[in-house]
Amino acid sequence: MQVIENLKVKEKVYFEKLNNGLMVMIIPKQGIQKKYMIWGINYGSNDSVFIAPKEEKETKVPNGVAHFLEHKLFEQENGSNALDTLTALGVEANAYTSNDHTAYLFECTDNFYEAMDEFMDYVQHPYFTDENVEKEKGIIEQEIMMYDDSPEWKVYINTLLAMYHNNPVKIDIAGTKDSISKIDKDILYKCYNTFYNPSNMVLVICGDFEVEKIIEEVKKRLIPNTPKGEIKRIYPKEPEEIVKEKIEQNLEVNMPLYSIGIKCESGCNVNTQAKYALNKSDEVKKHIAIDILLYLIIGKSSKLYKKLYNQGIIFMEPYLSYEFSKTYAHIIISGQSSNPDEVFLNFKQEVKEFIEKGIDKNNFERIKKMIYGAYIKEYDDVENISRMFLADYFKGINSFDYLEEIEGINVEYLEQILKDVFKEDKMVISIVKN
C-alpha cells in the first residue's frame, strides 16, 4: 500500500491496487459523520472508437453510449432500481458521465455498509434487454431535448463547436436522437465488458474509516475478475486553429448569454507537442497559472470587470474555468451581458495590455493567495475531496500537487503562459440572445 501525505492540509491518501487491477483510494477523515464513495470508470463520451483488449479490429459505437450505460446500470434483473433501493436506505446516490470518465457515487451518515452492498452489486451486474434499452431511449431523448432548449447549455456547446473541428469533446455527452436510436443491448454489453474492468476503474472512499478494514470490505464485495489488458482508444486528429470566431443563436432569454473560449494545446494532443505539458507537474503549474490569469484579467476585483460593470455591460462575475483532459484543453469565460460583443472586444484588448505592460506583482500575490485558499477549502468536504482525487487520477495527476506547485508560480512564468495560451487567433465567442 502506498501512502501520500500533505502536511499543509494534514491529509493522507492511501492507494492500494488490488489483484484484479482495481485502484482503491482511501481518504480517512476522523470525526467526520459523512461518508462518501465514488466508483469511477476511465470511460467517457469521447471514447466511441477503440480496439478492445486481445482484439485487432477497431470498434466504433454511436455517440452517447457511455451516458446510456450510466443510465441503464441502475436497473436490476429482479425489476428493482438501485437508485430507489439506495434512497430507501436514506442514502444520497447519483451518477454522471463526463468526456473522459463515468462515475457512480453515494453519500450517507448511516447505513453505509448496507448501501455499499447495493452500490457495489449494481455496478458489477449489468442487465440489458431489447425492451429496457428501447424504453431508455425515450427517456434520454427527453433529456437531449431539454438540453437543446437550455440557453445555458447551448451557449456552452456552441463555444466548443466554434473551437473544435474533429475532437469529440464538441459532441453532446448524451449523443443525439439519431445516435442513441442506433444503440442496442449488444453495443452496451460490448462497451461494458471492454471498459468496466477493474483494471480500468478507481474506487475512492472518504470518511471516518480504518483503512485496512474498509479495503477488506471492498474485496468481499468484488466479483472474481482479472485485468484484461490495454484498451486502445482512437481519437481524430485535431487542427490547431479554431473553426470560426463567432457563433450566435436565438433562444428565449431575459438577457443575452455569452461564452468566450480559448483553444489551448493539450498535453496529450495526438498531433501537438505542448510547451508546458512535458510532465504532469507542468500541467498542474499551467492550470494554476491560467486560473490566476483569468482572475487578474476579468475576475471580480479586476480593472476590466469594474469597467464593464460600471458601464452596465455585465452584472455579475463571469464563470471562469480551464477544462482539460488527455486530448483537449480550453478556457471558458461565460456570463450574462447586455452587449456580449463589447465584452469580447474588451477582453481581447485587456489581454493585449497585460502582455504589453506586464503583470502587477501586488495583484498577482493577492490572487495567488485567494486561489490557494480555495484549494485548501476543497479538503473540508468529503464529496469535494473524493471527486477531485478521482478526476485528477484519470488525468495522471495527484491532487496534492496543486498545493505544492502553487508556491513556485511567479510573475515571469505567468507572463510566459499569458503569451503562449491567451492568443487572439485561438479565441472564440458564443452568444445566445432573443
Distance from C-alpha of 162 to C-alpha of 170, rounded to nearest angstrom: 9
70 included as an active-site residue: yes
Helix H or strand E segment including 124 = helix 112-124
- Beta strands per DSSP E along 19-101: 23-28, 35-41, 49-51, 59-60, 92-97
Residue with cell 469594474: 306
Residue 432 identity (one-letter amino acid): V
Distances (CA, A) of 244 to 102, 110, 415: 31, 52, 27
The three cell numbers locating residue 119: 452500490
Distance from C-alpha of 133 to C-alpha of 202, rounded to nearest angstrom: 27
Distance from C-alpha of 167 to C-alpha of 94, rounded to nearest angstrom: 28
Distance from C-alpha of 123 to C-alpha of 67, rounded to nearest angstrom: 14
The three cell numbers locating residue 19: 489483484
Distance from C-alpha of 69 to C-alpha of 122, rounded to nearest angstrom: 12
Distance from C-alpha of 130 to C-alpha of 21, rounded to nearest angstrom: 32
Q: Which of 11, 70, 118, 136 is catalytic?
A: 70
Distance from C-alpha of 73 to C-alpha of 120, rounded to nearest angstrom: 11
Q: Left, alpha or beta for 175 (phi > 0: left; psi -120 to 50: alpha)?
A: left
Distance from C-alpha of 336 to C-alpha of 254, rounded to nearest angstrom: 9
Contact between 395 and 326 under an 8 Å Cβ cutoff? The reply is: yes
Contact between 209 and 27 under an 8 Å Cβ cutoff? The reply is: no
Distance from C-alpha of 66 to C-alpha of 179, rounded to nearest angstrom: 12
Distances (CA, A) of 421 to 270, 289, 312, 352, 371: 18, 10, 29, 12, 20
Q: Which residues belong to the active site?
A: 70
